[in-house]
Amino acid sequence: MAYRRLGESGLKVSALGLGTNAFGKRADERTSIDIIHAALDAGISFIDTANIYAGTESERIIGEALKGRRHEAVLTTKAGLPRGSGVYERGSSRRHLMGELEGSLRRLGTDYVDLYQIHTFDPETPLEETLRTLDDMVRSGKVRYIGASNYHAWELMKAVGISDRLGLARYISMQTSYSLADRTPERELIPMCQDQGLGIIPYFPLAGGILTGKYGTPQEAPAGSRADTDPGFRRFLGEATVTLARQVAALAEELGTTPAALSLAWLLRRPAVSTVIVGATRVEQLRSNLASLELQPDDAILARLDEISAPFRSGEPFALYRLT
């Protein structure tokens, strides 16, 4: 396993990270624990979850899986997106974040998280309040580093500027949708992170499974796929993304690899990318994705991937989760 610094911090993370959104939902507890153990055995240290995944079940299951192995993991969770309909169940106010961190630590069975991420920008809470709260968490030892997710570039730059001006703990990473099917971060977000020393953590690196080639047409939803179990995901299935997936699959066939491995190998070579979050609902899926670490596509293949995905630099992001 290759390890990289998360941005310009001293924290080293595995090049591939484990996404756990499906744990307790599309993967049952036993399967989820097996996946976590297989990931740790393969050298994957970065484990990403959130307080809302599977209604907190993801965190609880991770806590069970890490008993006796907590020291092997770089554990990260998030807060900020709605946990319910109540006025105090969302956002990045001091009140909300303090309570959510304690709940996450309890479910995860640990007294600290390596990286605590704000799940999305909160337009109703001053950034200074959020950043002072995060700084207090770092000083308490319950949080080692802090990061952001789903921020626009100007919001992230403003946060970094406030931290620098006030001497507060600084975001070291930005988690964003990024893949061959979503290159919108390259317009502003990635140049900003390169300039300010933040690491990029892509989510949806396979466009929710579209880049695996499993969807033959926008109307098809193979049994057990995300579009089959989560009808809301169908909004991501369009002719353009499915056509891109076919083109990636053709290139992968030339190389004798899978479209998933090729898509991940491309992403691992992008500027500022520190670790790529890959989900799994089966151990076999996880092991298959590890092939991306050994894949060495030549310049011609990388250029071809750049070319066929170039249209996805424009338009709207593939996914962006915001408070409304």
DSSP code per residue over 273-306: B--EEEE-SSHHHHHHHGGGGT----HHHHHHHH
Closest Cα partner for 138 from 181, 185, 172?
A: 172
Given 53, 116, 151, 203, the catalytic residue: 53
Closest Cα partner for 43 from 313, 275, 255, 204?
A: 275
In tens, the pLDDT along 250-296 reads: 999 999 999 999 999 999 999 999 999 999 999 999 999 999 999 99
Average pLDDT, the chain: 95
The whole-number pLDDT of residue 226 equals: 67
- Give me 134's structure tokens: 């995060």
Domains, the chain, in order of start with CATH, read: 3-313 (3.20.20.100)
Closest Cα partner for 175 from 116, 240, 123?
A: 116
pLDDT band at 233 (very low <50, low <70, confident <90, very high): confident
Q: The tokens 């990289």 sit on which residue?
A: 4
In tens, the pLDDT along 153-196 reads: 999 999 999 999 999 999 999 999 999 999 999 999 999 999 99
In tens, the pLDDT along 76-104 reads: 999 999 999 999 999 999 999 999 999 99
Closest Cα partner for 54 from 27, 92, 16?
A: 27
Return the SS3 of 182: strand
The CA distances from residue 253 to 41, 46, 258, 261, 318, in Å, are 29, 30, 7, 11, 25
Task: Catalogue the long-range contacts made by 296-300 (C-beta closer than 8 Å, 24 or more residues apart).
Answer: 296/265, 297/255, 297/262, 297/265, 297/266
Do 76 and 6 touch, CB atoms closer than 8 A?
no
CA gap 127, 50 in Å, rounded: 21
Residue 53 a catalytic site member: yes
